[in-house]
Chain A
């Protein structure tokens, strides 16, 4: 099997701009492979969140081509996008928990959206609460949880459906170093189960915590590849396969 067939994400000369402003991302080209652990680093404002938004299909690029799970998602009709979103788990920078739902219901949300029966989701959600150490807070609303607890609920929600790819935007930004390390260990554990993990962070100390991780670095919208593992012959859009 060739690398191109194996990759689950491929960006070709992707550019993103809002309105008539300058490009936030320019000529971004890379490929992600299954079962790998990626860090996306860069200073604040480098475009990490914008790149992740393209990854979890919250946005279309201004130019370039994006293939996910072997499909061109740029030209894909929007009604077919949900099926691809269900193959991903997302940990948002601000958690984005549903305020009026309990920790249990927040974690159960992806399963409910996917049509899993109530009787079938109770076990997995309870297991997941136990895994993130929040079994005793199952009925708590997000407002009554600490920042670290909310973070763990957000992570549990992102991984409950065993996604093919987990995308996390600054998941350790609001927690102390000890909790940050615990969360990274959670991602590693998930990665060992086969999930591709992409973690955006500006904390360079975290990079050393996952020895086998690959690093993408964004600087003013341009992507560099310090570990060399992302490279593949970039193709120009319109140049043909």
Chain B
């Protein structure tokens, strides 16, 4: 028998990292593998879709709110057409001189009639029912209640049939619905994140079980919890990166196709819900979040399991 090699005390006694390829060596290939990249891809695609929808709805609501915030409508509800026209002109003359008013336009009666055509039918609607005169008012600031009340008082003497309403007030139920949809998208993203974390947790536990012998050996050779957790983090990192990239491509493709479909509707309201450059960048960050979530979940799962060992 040969003499044993006189080895230096190469093994340092302090805690040292076990990372990179040497860590990858310790678990066999496909350690967390199997369906995990696909599960993460589906989660990321659905999250991108939900986030894309939520961002588009938020943009839509913001744009509508912004356009309507400084707008108000003056209605002259007067049965006598001549008196109605006179009051409309008097109100317009008074309002245009007010410092709060940026501009106004009396809506031509034929335009109002056209707007009402779906309900009152074609022809001379005025014969069927008195149609109010409308003044489209643009204010310098938001149309708050105090300003509207002051303008109402201003025109009250010359145009007693005038009624001033903020345009945003009419759309508030729509904006509330959009806001609810936005929150629902956010809740969906939260649920997807939770489901993704649960899937990683199950996969990590499964991998821990099937690699228990290796883990115990590394543990007994002096490997610490952080080193062993790092082995699993590395495994899930690869799976999550592949799944995240695939999911991002699928999700972005779906968002883009849906955007094209809505754009084809050529509706003013829907067209306002497009995504901006910042939104696309935010969507591109979804897989990074998924990777971070997966790695952290794997780390905490493994550390929690290792704490049960001495």
Q: By the criterion CB–CB under 8 Å, are A83 and B10 in contact?
A: no
Q: Closest A-chain residue to B23, C-beta based?
A: A112
A130 at the B interface (CB under 8 A): yes
B197 CB to nearest A CB, Å = 25
Quick check: is B118 within 8 A (CB to CB) of the other chain? no
Which chain B residues lie closer than 8 Å to A115 at the CB level? Answer: 12, 14-18
- The answer to whether A113 touches B310 (Cβ under 8 A) is no
B33 proximal to A (CB < 8 A):
no
| B217 engages A85 (CB within 8 Å) | no
| B207, chain A: closest CB distance, angstroms | 14
Contacts of B310 in A (CB 8 A): 57-60, 78, 81
Q: Please give me the residue from chain B that is nearest to A89 by CB atom.
A: B221
Expressed in whole angstroms, the Cα–Cα distance for A182 and B14 within the complex equals 33
B264 CB to closest chain A CB, in angstroms? 55
A131 vs B4: C-alpha distance in the bound complex, in angstroms? 6
B:47-62 near A, CB below 8 Å:
none
Residue of B nearest to A160 (CB): B7
Among B4, B9, B16, chain A packs the most CB atoms within 10 A around the CB of: B4
Q: Which of B141-149, B188-196, B222-230 contacts A (4 or more CB under 8 A)?
A: B222-230
Complex Cα gap A120–B10 (Å): 8
Q: Are the CB atoms of A189 and B213 closer together than 8 Å?
A: no
Q: Residue B225 contacts which of A79, A159, A185, A186 (CB distance < 8 angstroms)? A: A79
Q: Which of B1, B6, B222 contacts A110 (CB 8 A)?
A: B222
The answer to whether A12 has its CB under 8 Å from any CB of chain B is no
Contact between chains at A113 and B7 (CB < 8 Å): no
Query: B1-39: which residues lie under 8 A (CB-CB) from chain A?
Result: 1-18, 22, 25-26, 28
User: Within the complex, what minimum Cβ distance (angstroms) separates B219 from chain A?
Assistant: 8
Question: Contact between B9 and A113 (Cβ–Cβ < 8 Å)?
Answer: no
Binary per-residue interface labels of chain B (258-298) against chain A in the complex, 1 for a CB within 8 Å, 0 otherwise? 00000000000000000000000000000000000000000
Cross-chain contact of A83 among B4, B13, B219, B221 (Cβ < 8 A)? B13
A83, B25: Cβ atoms closer than 8 Å: no
Task: State whether A85 touches B18 (Cβ < 8 A).
Answer: no
For A113, the closest partner residue in chain B by CB is: B223
A32 to chain B, nearest CB (A): 19
Tell whether B153 is near chain A: CB-to-CB under 8 Å. Answer: no
**Which residues from chain B contact A56 at a C-beta distance below 8 Å?**
220
Contact of B15 among A58, A83, A124 (CB under 8 A): A83
- Within 8 Å CB of A85, what residues of B? 219-222
Q: Does B218 contact A (CB under 8 A)?
A: yes
Docked-complex contact B1 and A86, CB < 8 angstroms: no
**Chain B CB within 10 Å, residue with most, of A78, A96, A114, A182:** A114
Using known A-B contacts A82-B15, A86-B11, determine if residue A113 contacts B221 with beta carbons closer than 8 Å.
yes
A98–B214 CB distance below 8 A = yes
Let me know if A170 is at the binding interface, CB within 8 A: no
Whether A162 contacts B9 in the complex (CB less than 8 A), given A79-B224, A86-B222, A109-B218, comes out as yes
B213 smallest CB distance to A (angstroms): 7
Chain A proximity mask over B97-129: 1 for CB below 8 Å, otherwise 0? 000000000000000000000000000000000
Question: With A59-B310, A79-B224 in contact, do A114 and B11 touch (Cβ < 8 Å)?
Answer: yes
Taken together as a complex, chains A and B put the C-alpha atoms of A96 and B103 apart, in Å, by 86
- Least distance between A139 CB and chain B CB atoms (Å): 13
Interface positions, chain A 79-109, Cβ under 8 Å from B, are 79, 81-83, 85-87, 90, 96, 98-101, 105, 109
A161 with B9: CB separation less than 8 A: yes
Taken together as a complex, chains A and B put the C-alpha atoms of A187 and B5 apart, in Å, by 13
Q: Is the Cβ of B22 less than 8 Å from the Cβ of A110?
A: no
Q: List 25 A-B contacts (CB under 8 A).
A: A57-B310, A58-B220, A60-B310, A78-B310, A82-B219, A82-B222, A83-B222, A85-B221, A86-B222, A90-B220, A100-B28, A109-B26, A109-B218, A110-B222, A112-B25, A115-B16, A115-B18, A118-B22, A127-B7, A130-B2, A131-B5, A160-B7, A162-B11, A182-B1, A189-B4
Which 7 A-B pairs give the minimum distances between C-beta atoms? A115-B16, A86-B222, A161-B11, A114-B11, A127-B5, A85-B222, A100-B28
- A81-B310, A162-B9, A189-B4 are known; give 11 further A-B pairs, CB within 8 A: A82-B224, A83-B15, A83-B222, A85-B220, A86-B221, A114-B10, A116-B16, A124-B10, A131-B4, A162-B8, A162-B11
